Structure 1
Amino acid sequence: MGRHSLPDDDMRGGGRSRPRVRRRTVAGATMLVLALAAGTGVAAQSGLLSFADSCKDAAVRLEVVASPDIAPAVRAVADSARQQEVTSDGQCMDVRVTARENYKVAQELAVAGNKPEYEVWLPDSAFWAERTKALGGGVPLTPAGNVAVSPIALATVHAAGTELGWPGKTYTWAELTAAATTTETLRLGAADPARSATGLLALTSVSASTQKSGPDADTKVAATAKALSRRVSPADSQVVRTLARDGSAEDVRDPRRNQAVFLSEQAAYAYNSATSYSTRDLELFYPKDSAPRLDYPYQLVDESELSTDESRAATRFMALLGEPEPRRTLAAHGFRAADEAAAESLVRTAGGRAPQPFTATETAAPLRPDALQETLGLWTITVQSARLTTVVDVSGSMQAPVPGRDAQSRLDVTKASLLQAMEQFTPEDEIGLWEFATGLDGPRDYRKLVATARLGAPGKGGGTHRAQLAEAFKALAPVPEGATGLYDTTLAAYKEAQGSYVKGKFNALVILTDGSNQDRFSITRSALLNQLKKLSDPQRPVPLIAIAVGPDADLREADQIARAAGGAGYQVSDPAEIQAVILKAIMAVGQAGQAAQE
């Protein structure tokens, strides 16, 4: 059979700037393309469409942008198709594959008016199409099937795997993450969930699993996110580089090295395939309560702008990727076929062994897009550097003993809880401290003890700001005759927090009190609420988190005051709960603020 020429030689250019020769409706074209692709596939397999002459001067050009992990395998299939002169509708296909980070492509396609220079996008997860819509959805995408899948697991170096009981011990996501984050000797890392579907799917699975564990699930998830944020990598390709390399005791103890990371099975396969010694191999734990997977959706980009030849070639290439030889190419790179169980040899190379549930034929339902977006919001807020001004009630009532606490006062337990809470924050977080009670500082009900600054910054007289703040927490003492000067203190602290707002951080004012306002010379409640509402600025949000400490505290008043400044009120019966409540409040208030801005 002779070589076929293209209808218009100008269509041979490499990008979306090529002129379109034919237009058609999306629905009608899709049906036509599928029928033609099926027929062309049969003809190609029978050899009827093999060309004797070179096709390089008469081929339909197709630009594919693919996730970096799958791009080499897809490029190999494309190169083979070019060499074998595989055709689409009688024309040879010239498929060019470019690797690009998924989050960058999603951001690009979200902008209305963009004209991408590619016809197909192959990200690692359907999440990215949803993310594109959430960001604006400027360029339409048409799903055309899935090329491959790869489950997400926890990969460990050998020493950590042994410590966790690999391969004999199985875990839920919640149990596995707890085991990996409650010991200082097992450091857990991940790729940034804002840039990595693997990181996001894993953290969402942790959240779903943890929700079944009890009422403090949100706090546990936030704590996990905070722990991960200290050891996060910018992208999937970089997370494996954080692992201990040679298995030596010195390497394992290196604080810069992780012993465990969230990883796809394919990434573990690629890592283990590249290592020379078995002691360097990763070992995989497949959580038993769910199987989130990267699903590699094949997306047509702005289908209405594709020429008929491009659309046919795009669908033909998708069909080709499902044929036996290309499937073997994908498997050789560590990918499972979208509709088949993985070969045992693939799983073993990746680090899986029985009884880890990697052979389960039933997988969990895909994680809901809203659950993924919620986790992304949690991550964004929880790991964002915080700037908190903490205001603590030291009135006489804070001397009251806490039942079951060996005669410890409310203030004693509050201080201990604040010291524990401070450990959850990084050196980049900023925290300051005020105290308040009537008669504390002349006519004023409040006193600034430590300015709000980075915990890692140098402190006065040596040491760090964190150390200085810890000493200030410990030194807090009740004013025996002092009453609760809540209103004036709240207004003064809020004005300063607003005035010192730092862009790019989660700014908030945290007030802890065990009573209602008792200063008869202060402003009224209505005046305070009006002032807070006037001071609140959506462009410079400083939510107020009011924590009512003890059974006698007025939660209703605390919540009313906090909501006037875009925050919320919380109550703890035991001051020891303060640590968990602060983290939960930051998450909840921060997400609410983020949703309002969107």
Structure 2
Amino acid sequence: MGRHSLPDAATTDDTRSRPRVRRRTVAVAASLVLAVAAGTGAAVRTGLLSFPDSCADDAVRIDLAASPDIAPVVRAAADRARAGGVRSDGQCMDVRVVARHNHEVAELLATGSNSPDYEVWLPDSAVWADRVQTTGDGVPLTPAGNIALSPVTFAAVAEAGEGLGWPDRTYTWAELSSAATSSERLRLGSGDPARSATGLLALTAVAGSARGSGSGSDTAVAAAAKALSQRVADTDTAAAATLARAESGEAAGDPARNQAVFLSEQAAFAYNKGAGQDIPDLRLFYPSDASPALDFPYELVDETSLSTDESRAATRFMALLAEPASRRALTAAGFRAPDQEVPEALVAAAGGRAPQPFADRGDTSGALPSDVLQQTLGMWTITVQSARLTTVVDVSGSMQTPVPGRGMQSRIDVTRETLRQALANFTPEDEIGLWEFATGLDGSRDYRELVPTDPLGPVGASGSQRARLTRAFDDLAAVPNGATGLYDTTLAVFRQAQDGYVKDKFNALVVLTDGSNQDRLSISRSALIAELEKLDDPNAPVPLIAIAIGPDADLDELVEIADATGGAAYQVSDPAEIEAVILKAIMTVGQKSRAPQE
């Protein structure tokens, strides 16, 4: 079997010259840490990069891919271990550390098609590990602990920070976002949430904060994301580089420069250190209503494929990263150590100051749920690209079935309500249409177009596409004797969606059904799949997002159909889950389209 090549792998100076040794299933990494921690008393010397003579022939090699911000500290620890002859079960450790962008490694691991060429991954956030496990057939990852922490902050240049009342005034995430996006004079930037955990965590915190503040919040968040999308950078370092520097006279002038960015505390520390001044350039706000943080998880990659020696060496090295010398190096680089008091000198150097609540960001207790992060990423995807979605709703008789735990509400009742709510996630530039389907719905046809797929237009305008869709959702009703005419409907709507494909938008079909195809006169499943595969155009992709509602829907059937278009299929027990699943599916399908091809 082939092996993944890491991005920019040619730039490394280390290649794997040793053969793979005997493999066996090993115990969970957390238990191994306890076993090896007892042997952590070996002395570590600094200043030498080569092995002692006694280690030349028996070293256990571990390849470790690390987030670029923490890679220098981890590489220095590996050099100390190599020079000091630190051993694992009597063997020296040859840990090779390479810096790799987190999103690139996540995309590679998410494909799951080949074995990776490293044993440990140290991304900046568990966000990336979650994405690997929820996207495609991801390579298995085993979390073994956290190496460092760095809270996500709102970093402003001095003039803007003082204008917002720093340090005495505190804000919620929603209040900070509103202050930044409502003023043309305060330009807010961020790392791209699709490529930056900092950007994703911040945007999710903003969305959660806004939803807790009152009605109309979803639309406001989508609008804020749209504004933010005009000022994103690929990485946090690139986002920090967009900040206006006061000494250059840029603070109020250059419209290409930002006055504030979402930034980790460590990135702000590094930015200020790079300025070479005694007084930090940045003013950090630590929002009062949530505390997302980068948590730097230490992940064993495909643990069952590791040899016993490799697994023990990997966990031995993790223990080394928790020793005092490594902790001091982490602090010196602007990272917080897990489960330790917050170093105020570090916070001050990064740009924080009391009464900003920086001390509340010392652990991951405020970690945001994985499903909430996925919803945010789905919303971001459609916000940045703009979407062209045709929604296709099953109105067969079975959609009248009551939903357990919802009184007298039927599947079609809850579906209507959820679709109305989901509409708030889309901006005026997004294009949404609606079809319904059941056997005999329109003469000999099983389907009917209710609202053509067009831009939504202004929020609240009575004659807008948004208003037409809301009325059409309200009018959806199950056909008492109608059966599920899935195959003919899918082919017809796919053909029309391809004919109406709009470049530079996320084009997709969303099919909601609670059953399997029941039209005996329709095209067969095999013929449908063959036709979809023939029509599928990689230059004009229209993936099918299929959602099976309830236990009677045939998920396997929908998976097979969706796969033919590059799409995905999901099952929900309650139609109220549809909104979240649509956003998750948009993220997943978009991730598939960005994954490198083997």
Q: TM-score range by the shorter chain?
A: 0.5 to 0.7
Which residue of the partner structure matches residue 317 of structure 1?
317
What is the deviation of 1:276?
A: 2.3
User: What letter matches 2:385 in structure 1?
Assistant: Q
Larger radius of gyration: 1
Q: RMSD between aligned alpha carbons? A: 4.3
Shift of the 152–33 alpha-carbon distance from structure 1 to 2, 3 Å rule, reads closer
Distance 1:107 1:386, change over 3 A: closer
CA deviation after TM superposition for structure 1 residue 107, in Å: 1.0
Report deviation, 1:256.
0.3
Output the amino acid matched with 1:108. Answer: L
> Are the equivalent residues in 2 in contact too, given 1:506–1:590 (CA < 8 A)?
no
Residues 83 and 329 (structure 1), Cα distance of their counterparts in 2 relative to 1, 3 Å cut: same
The code of the aligned residue for 1:342 comes to: V
CA distance in 2, matches of 1:67, 1:301: 15
Partner residue of 1:594?
A: 586
- CA deviation vs aligned residue, 1:174-200 (integer Å, no higher than 9, x gap): 111111111000000000000111000
Deviation sequence 1:162-217 (CA, Å, 0-9, x none): 11111110001111111111100000000000011100000011111111111211
**1:379-528 equivalences in 2 (<5 Å):** 379-385=380-386, 499-506=499-506
Q: What whole-Å deviation, never above 9, does each CA across 1:235-287 have from its counterpart, x for those lacking one?
A: 12211111102355545321100000000000000111111235761110000
SS state of the match for residue 63, structure 2? strand
Q: After superposition, where does 1:246-325 map in structure 2 within 5 Å?
A: 246-247=246-247, 249-277=249-277, 281-325=281-325
Which residue of structure 2 lines up, in the alignment, with residue 85 of structure 1? 85
Give deviations 1:465-487, integer Å, cap 9, x for gaps.
Answer: xxxx99xx9xx9xxxxxxxxxxx
CA contact (8 A) 1:17 1:117 kept: no
Q: Distance in 2 between matches of 1:166 and 1:149?
A: 24
* TM-aligned CA deviation for residue 111 of structure 1: 2.0
1:366 aligns with 2:367: yes
Deviation at 1:76, TM superposition (A): 1.2
Question: Is 370-379 or 300-309 further displaced after alignment?
Answer: 300-309
Deviations 1:331-358 (A, max 9, x none): 1100000111221110000000010000
Shift of 1:220: 1.3
Structure 1 residue 83: deviation in Å?
1.8
Letter in 2 for 1:39: A
- Cα 1:595–1:173 change in 2 (3 A) is closer
Secondary structure of 2:222's partner?
helix
Q: 1:144·1:299 contact (CA, 8 Å) conserved in 2? A: yes
Deviates further, 496-505 or 140-149: 496-505
Q: Could you tell me how far apart the structure 2 residues matched to 1:40 and 1:342 are?
A: 28
Work out the CA distance in 1 between the residues paired with 2:346 and 2:588.
46
Q: Which amino acid aligns with 1:40?
A: G
Q: Quick check: 2:189–2:228 contact (8 Å CA) kept in 1?
A: yes
Q: How far 1:367 moved relative to its partner?
A: 0.5
Deviations 1:453-502 (A, max 9, x none): 9xxxxxxxxxxxxxxx99xx9xx9xxxxxxxxxxxxxxxxx999864422
- The answer to whether the 8 Å contact 1:174/1:210 transfers is yes
Pairwise CA distance, 1:80: 1.6
Matched letter for residue 61 of structure 2: R
Contact 1:192 1:235 in 2 (8 A): yes
Q: TM-score, normalised by structure 1?
A: 0.64
Change (3 A) 1:44 1:24: farther
Give the gaps of 5 or more residues in structure 1: 1-12, 390-420, 432-451, 454-468, 477-493, 510-533, 544-586
Matched residue type, 1:63: D
Q: How does 1:225-244 map to 2 (within 5 A)?
A: 225-244=225-244
Aligned to 1:200: 200
Cα distance change on mapping 1:31 and 1:251 into 2, 3 Å? closer
Structure 2 counterpart of 1:394: none
CA deviation string 1:121-172 (max 9, x = no partner): 0000111111001222432111111000000000010111011111110001
Contact 2:32 2:315 in 1 (8 A): no
Distance in 2, Cα, partners of 1:103 & 1:276 = 30
Secondary structure in 2 matching 1:224: helix
**Contact preservation (8 Å) 2:508, 2:542:** no
CA offset digits 1:302-346 (Å, max 9, x no partner): 112222221111011000000011100011100000111221110
In structure 1, distance between residues paired with 2:543 and 2:144: 43
290-299 or 108-117, which deviates more: 108-117
Contact 1:157 1:247 in 2 (8 A): no
Whether contact under 8 Å (2:157, 2:251) holds in the other structure is: no
Distance in 1 (alpha carbons) for counterparts of 2:324 and 2:250:
46
Q: Tell me if the contact between 1:166 and 1:283 (Cα under 8 Å) persists in the aligned partners.
A: yes
Q: Distance in 1 between matches of 2:156 and 2:163?
A: 10
Identify the residue that residue 164 of structure 1 maps to in structure 2: 164
d(CA) in 2 for partners of 1:149 and 1:497? Answer: 46
Encode CA deviations 1:514-569: one digit per residue, 9 max, x unaligned. xxxxxxxxxxxxxxxxxxxx9x99964899xxxxxxxxxxxxxxxxxxxxxxxxxx
Shift of residue 596 of structure 1?
10
- 1:595: how far off? 7.8
Alignment of 1:137-156 (within 5 A): 137-156=137-156
Q: Matches of 2:334 and 2:88 in 1, distance apart?
A: 28
How far is the alpha carbon of 1:363 from its aligned partner? Answer: 6.2
Q: For residue 95 of structure 2, give the secondary structure of its aligned residue in structure 1.
A: strand
Give yes or no for contact 1:185–1:253 (8 Å, CA) kept in 2.
no
Instruction: Check the 8 A contact 2:143/2:300 in 1, yes or no.
Output: yes
Structure 1 residues 174 and 351: CA distance shift in structure 2, 3 A: same
* Residues 265 and 334 in structure 1, CA contact (< 8 A), matched pair in contact too: yes
Residues 331 and 337 of structure 1 are in contact (CA less than 8 Å); yes or no, is this contact kept in structure 2?
yes
1:63 aligns with 2:63: yes
The letter of the residue matching 2:41 is: V
Q: Percent identity?
A: 60
Q: Does 1:110 align with 2:102?
A: no
CA contact (8 A) 2:42 2:87 kept: no
Distance 1:20 1:363 in 2: 36
Could you say which residue in structure 2 is the equivalent of 1:548?
none
- Quick check: 1:377 aligned with 2:378? yes
What is the CA–CA distance in structure 2 between the aligned matches of 1:276 and 1:168, rounded to whole Å?
26
Q: Say if 1:362 and 1:289 are closer, same or farther in 2 by CA, change over 3 A.
A: farther
CA distance in 1, matches of 2:501, 2:206: 33
Contact 2:29–2:144 (Cα < 8 Å) also in 1 = no
Does the 8 A contact of 2:62 with 2:96 survive in 1?
A: yes
Structure 2: distance between partners of 1:497 and 1:131: 29
CA contact (8 A) 2:280 2:351 kept: no
Match of 1:3 in 2: none
TM-score scaled by length of structure 2 = 0.64
Q: What CA distance in whole angstroms lies between the structure 2 residues aligned with 1:344 and 1:28? A: 36
| Secondary structure of 2:246 counterpart | coil
CA distance in 2, matches of 1:314, 1:94: 10
Q: 1:365 Cα deviation (Å)?
A: 2.9
